[in-house]
A and B are shown apart, each in its own frame.
Chain A
Amino acid sequence: DAEITQSPRHKITETGRQVTLACHQTWNHNNMFWYRQDLGHGLRLIHYSYGVQDTNKGEVSDGYSVSRSNTEDLPLTLESAASSQTSVYFCASSERDGGGEQYFGPGTRLTVT
């Protein structure tokens, strides 16, 4: 069955370290998204991509970067992790010509100490 996976599922890192969270989907969706979810804020969009080599900033993109070298993967990099980036991160994907509905991965729980 087609799916979307994230790894690692849990990560503890230290302030200042570079961290990369992986997202892989097998639906062949053109659109991919990264969100963070925090209590009181709901889901906030970090970065998104509408296809290979396309990346765009969301509402909370500072300190994060993404690259899209193929259809299946959109890794999220925290260039220098900060305690404010402790959160649960979700990857999602959607069809290019669909109705906009997004399908989510299981999440990565990141703790920055």
Chain B
Amino acid sequence: QKEVEQDPGPLSVPEGAIVSLNCTYSNSAFQYFMWYRQYSRKGPELLMYTYSSGNKEDGRFTAQVDKSSKYISLFIRDSQPSDSATYLCAMSRGNTDKLIFGTGTRLQVFP
């Protein structure tokens, strides 16, 4: 069993929809949680960063961490075609620890 599980998708939604992307993990020692966005043939770009449990909001994006359920989510409101990309979750035990990545969920937002 992988330490981090992520549904590969693809997830296809109409423009304006609310998108929910999720990851589950098995290691209760993870404390730092990140979401990366990767456009085709580009490097991953850091989108959201959260320490421990709780919510964090940045514009149309909200990251949630539920450590009791070992579950993290990324919500995208008012999705746009420009949000079409692969979204990777990542997490680590400490700020000097290696990041463990999910395999990514491919999202397509159609006009």
Residues of A within 8 A of B (CB): 31, 33, 40-43, 45, 48, 50, 58, 90, 96-107, 109
> From A4, which residue of chain B is reached at the shortest CB distance?
B43
Residues of B within 8 A of A (CB): 32, 34, 36, 41-46, 49, 51, 88, 90, 92, 94-99, 101-104
> From A107, which residue of chain B is reached at the shortest CB distance?
B43
> From B8, which residue of chain A is reached at the shortest CB distance?
A40
User: With contacts A41-B103, A42-B104, A43-B101 known, is A100 near B96, CB below 8 A?
Assistant: yes
Q: A43's contact among B41, B88, B94, B96, by CB below 8 Å, is which?
A: B88
> Tally of A-B residue pairs with Cβ under 8 A?
53
From DSSP, what is the main secondary structure of chain A's interface residues?
A: loop
> From A105, which residue of chain B is reached at the shortest CB distance?
B43
Q: A107's contact among B42, B46, B99, by CB below 8 Å, is which?
A: B42
Q: A50's contact among B51, B90, B92, B96, by CB below 8 Å, is which?
A: B96
A-B residue pairs, 10 tightest by C-beta: A42-B103, A104-B43, A100-B95, A43-B101, A100-B32, A104-B44, A106-B43, A100-B92, A101-B49, A42-B101
Which residues on B sit within 8 Å (CB–CB) of A33?
Answer: 98
Which residues on B sit within 8 Å (CB–CB) of A109?
Answer: 41
Which residues on A sit within 8 Å (CB–CB) of B32?
Answer: 99-101
Give CA–CA (A103, B41) in the complex, Å: 16
Give CA–CA (A102, B32) in the complex, Å: 12
Give CA–CA (A50, B95) in the complex, Å: 12
Give CA–CA (A99, B27) in the complex, Å: 18
